[in-house]
Amino acid sequence: MRHEVVMPQMGESITEGTIIKWLKQVGDRVERDEPIFEISTDKVDAEIPAPQAGILLEVLAGENQTVPVNAVVAYIGDEAPVAAPAAAQAAAPAPSNGAASAATRIDEADVEDAAEPPDALGIRSSPLVRRMAREHGVDLRQIPGTGIGGRITKRDFLAFLEQRQPAPVAMPAAAPVAMPAAAPSAVIEAATLPGDDVEVVPMTAMRKKIADRMVFSKHTSPHVTSVFEVDLTRIHRLRERNKRDFEAQHGVKLTFLPFIIKGVTDTLQAWPVLNASIEGDNIMYKKRCHIGIAVALDWGLIVPVIRHAEEKNLIGLARSISDLANRARAKQLKPEEVTGGTFTITNYGSFGSLIGTPIINQPQVAILGVGAIVKRPVVTDDDAIAVRHMSYLSLTFDHRLIDGAVADQFMSQLKQTLEAFQATELR
């Protein structure tokens, strides 16, 4: 008996997923709930378990292929694999314009790129289509999308371009014009020269999404960054005195990050404009603090969200951080755990960086960067020189909504909160 393996729907708004990697090959034995392939969607990367124990008989969709949810991507059964070509298909990545078998044939126009999120106007398209639109000066709102979920495909764009293109008109050749020596060249320098020793590697689906969202954020928000130096000596001492007992009692390590998040959530209560978003001409003030924490992965970056962080103490925050980070690295996060954030914190200091200017995680209006915590000689209030544990905290904010004075007042209060932590907050 043959059992279907389908592309799961990883959230209500997800209409498709990209197969990143097959963890099993045709002919392999799989157990029920054993991961058999990895997918990437608009929201999250995940390992998909086998719905049935048996032999992987046939693979219908190759790696890097995007397919709609509920489409059959493989079969599991008890008999031997159907044929050797199927095994070869599973082992080799599918061409970007390839289709699945006749049972679940997928339009090549819908698999040209990995799943992409809609833009600010709700238009779904791939980076390729958006680039072509910029080059030809085309407003994508003019093009009806025939792809999955109304996405504008390359085929849609080319058809639109062909319809609007006027008949060619012979033009006389223009005489060459001498350019001033100081004028900049209009030719973009080639990325490589003939004979250069290079390796060309396609972007992963996650990297393409990260790139697209970073460019979108920079185009959307005028980014401004303010940097404050914070004395974390008190928190360092609290942590050193309590970290062993804390881990033994609660099963997670006590890092600096729970203190930072607790300070941020307390400060956001006083400055709600930093826990907001812009919707057209309206400001949406979020009553809850859903704090995103940037987690660096070997294959990219993901931002799981601690929901209702303002209701958690240091113990609850430490547990949430450990749980989300571990499951992010194991590709076990759910779509709802990487959406809905209202403010993001990125701890680039864990790699030694002192100061950074992170990019805002849209549609949020601010992101806090935490630099490395290092010992430095500091002049105290009584003019003495002491060795203190110092860190630079950088706040990048959307200047459409947040003025510099407001951002600095937020950071000033956050600095005071962190420098005055009491031992009672560990309970």
Q: Is 324 a domain residue?
A: yes
Residues known to be catalytic: 399, 403
In a domain, 277, yes or no: yes
Tell me, yes or no, whether 114 lies in a domain. Answer: no
**Any domain includes 159:** no
Instruction: Tell me what the mean pLDDT of segment 21-31 comes to.
Output: 91
Coil, strand or helix at 216 = helix
Q: Are 391 and 419 in contact (CB under 8 A)?
A: no
**Range ranked top by mean pLDDT from 56-65, 133-142, 195-204, 352-361:** 352-361
CA angle 135, 137, 143 (to 5 degrees): 110
Cβ atoms of 212 and 116 closer than 8 Å: yes
Instruction: Judge if 276 and 413 occupy the same domain.
Output: yes
Pair (228, 101) in one structural domain = no
Cα three-residue angle 35-113-3, rounded to 5 degrees: 35
Residue 98 belongs to some domain of the structure: yes
Query: What value does the mean pLDDT take over residues 353-366?
Result: 95
Boundary (domain end) residue, out of 107, 137, 165 = 107
Report the largest interatomic distance among the alpha carbons of the chain, rounded to a whole angstrom.
Answer: 84
For 157-210, the pLDDT digits (tens) are: 878 877 775 544 444 444 444 444 444 444 556 677 788 888 888 888 778 888
Q: Name the domain boundary from 52, 76, 107.
A: 107
Interhelix angle for 154-164 vs 127-136, to 10°? Answer: 20
> Would you state the structure tokens that stand for residue 297, as one six-digit string?
């992965």
The number of CA neighbours under 13 Å toward the Cβ of 368 is 29
Position with higher pLDDT, 93 vs 47 = 47
The CATH number given to whatever domain includes residue 254 is 3.30.559.10
User: Which tens digits make up the pLDDT trace of 254-290?
Assistant: 999 999 999 999 999 999 999 999 999 999 999 999 9
Mean pLDDT of all residues belonging to the chain: 82
- Alpha-carbon span 368 to 411, nearest angstrom: 10
Backbone angles phi, psi at 269, to 5 degrees: -60, -35
Q: Which domain-ending residue is among 84, 107, 130?
A: 107
Could you tell me if 412 and 277 lie in one domain? yes
Q: Which of 384, 376, 396 is nearest to 232 (CA)?
A: 376
In a domain, 119, yes or no: no
Q: How far apart are CA 63 and CA 61, in angstroms?
A: 7
Instruction: Print the domain residue range for 9.
Output: 2-107
User: Quick one: 227 and 102 in the same domain?
Assistant: no
The distance of Cα 356 from the centroid of its chain, to the nearest Å, equals 18
pLDDT single digits (tens) 212-233: 889 999 999 999 999 999 999 9
Amino acid, single-letter form, for residue 225: T
Alpha helix ranges (H) inside 139-232: 154-164, 205-220
| Distance between CA atoms of residues 400 and 402, nearest Å | 6
* Integer CA distances (angstroms), 389 to 65, 233, 392, in order: 49, 5, 11
Amino acid at the residue 41: T
Please report the pLDDT score of residue 279 as a whole number.
92
Quick one: which H or E segment has residue 130?
helix 127-136
Cβ distance 411 to 226 under 8 Å? yes
Q: Based on the fold, state whether residues 257 and 403 are members of the same structural domain.
A: yes
The verdict on residue 36 lying in a domain is yes
Residue 154 one-letter amino acid: K
201 domain-assigned: no
Number of domains in the chain: 2
pTM of the complete model: 0.65
| CATH number of domain containing 38 | 2.40.50.100
What are the backbone angles phi and psi of residue 15, rounded to the nearest 5°?
-110, -10
Strand 374-379 with 72-77, pairing:
unpaired
Q: What average pLDDT does this structure show over 94-116?
A: 37
Determine the Cα–Cα distance for residues 394 and 306; give it in Å rounded to an integer. Answer: 21
CB atoms within 10 A of CB 207: 16
